[in-house]
Amino acid sequence: MPSTGTLDWAWVDVAVPRPSGRLPGISMAGFRHRAPVSVDIAMVAHPSVTLLIDLSEGGIVYDTHGRHQRGSVVIGLLPGDLRAAGRGKSECLQIRLEPVAAAAILGVSPELSGAMVSLADVWGRDAGRAEDRLRAATSWDERFAIAAEILGRRLGTRPPVDPEVAHTWRRMLTSQGRVRVEGLAYEVGWSRKRLWSRFRSQLGITPKRAAGLVRFDHAAHLLAAGHAAAGVAAESGYVDQSHLHREVKTFAGLTPTAVATAPWLAIDDVAWPTSSPTVAGRPALRLP
């Protein structure tokens, strides 16, 4: 098995929660890498704030813009060039928070809008307590239940975002990013300036950038599914293939060809079945 820059999913067990245990705006998946080798993979930007809770003994190391972070981390929107490396039988719980849910659970800060920080920097001592509880659990079902209880408790600790901001985000998702800010402002009865200001202050990203990230995510999954770049550009609403190329470089730091084979995307239809396009031929779900 190659040990650098690639990942063989045949060596990875993946678990997902039962539908009854899911929270709105929150999705989770558990990963256990059974091969005792080093792995180094590029991570691809996603329209969510990501919590990666390290449950392994050796520790997972993340690197972005020359900054290293070991253990459990929070990855904000638009993290840039980000890689994850681990040695041995690594194990982690990945939690994706839509920006509306992230604002309620984590609050908004410059760090969460486009960078990587330690989970302990965000949750303090509660981060270590959460890790201890999750490591002591005897099954992934128990881990998902613990995580849902922790996140559910935090959902009510901060004021919710404005309904207009939440509506704007939902429209971006349902339109796959192919929507104009002016039209969204008209829908919610706000001026473009007010929507821009409130959206950015509450979710940590501008509406235009958020729509672009959602559109990129849709295009990236089409590329990973084997669709040609020209067709992906047309279907995703880009002006042409060159426009797609520029946006992919902006959000992933990669070419469309490299995104098409990115290991980080290869497992999405298994780990996130409700949010990723269905692609024939993906590996069957494993429940360790």
> Tokens 């490396």 appear where?
85
- pLDDT confidence of residue 3: 29
**Per-residue confidence (pLDDT) for residue 18, from 0 to 100:** 82
Q: Look at the pTM and tell me if it is higher than 0.85.
A: no
CA gap 107, 255 in Å, rounded = 33
Q: Which domains does the chain have, with CATH numbers?
A: 9-159 (2.60.120.10), 163-260 (1.10.10.60)
In the chain, the largest separation of any two C-alpha atoms, in whole Å, equals: 56
* Cα separation, 246 vs 32, whole angstroms: 34
- Identify the band that residue 108 occupies on the pLDDT scale cut at 50, 70 and 90: low
246 C-beta neighbours (distance < 10 Å), count: 12
Helix and strand numbers, DSSP H then E, in the chain? 14, 10
pLDDT at 170: 94
- DSSP state letters, 232-286: HHHHHT-SSHHHHHHHHHHHHSS-HHHHHT-HHHHTHHHH-TTTS---TTPPPP-
**Residue with the larger pLDDT of the pair 206 and 61:** 206
- Interval 65-70 mean pLDDT: 68
CA-to-CA separations, 137 to 62, 140, 279, in angstroms, rounded: 25, 8, 32
- Band (pLDDT 50/70/90 cuts) for residue 31 is confident
Query: Per-residue confidence at 16, pLDDT binned at 50, 70, 90?
Result: confident
**Which positions ≥6 away from 130 have C-beta within 8 Å?**
53, 123, 146, 147, 150
Classify residue 5 by its DSSP letter. S
Give the single-character DSSP code of 213. Answer: H
Considering only CA atoms, which of 178, 237, 168 is closest in space to residue 205? 168
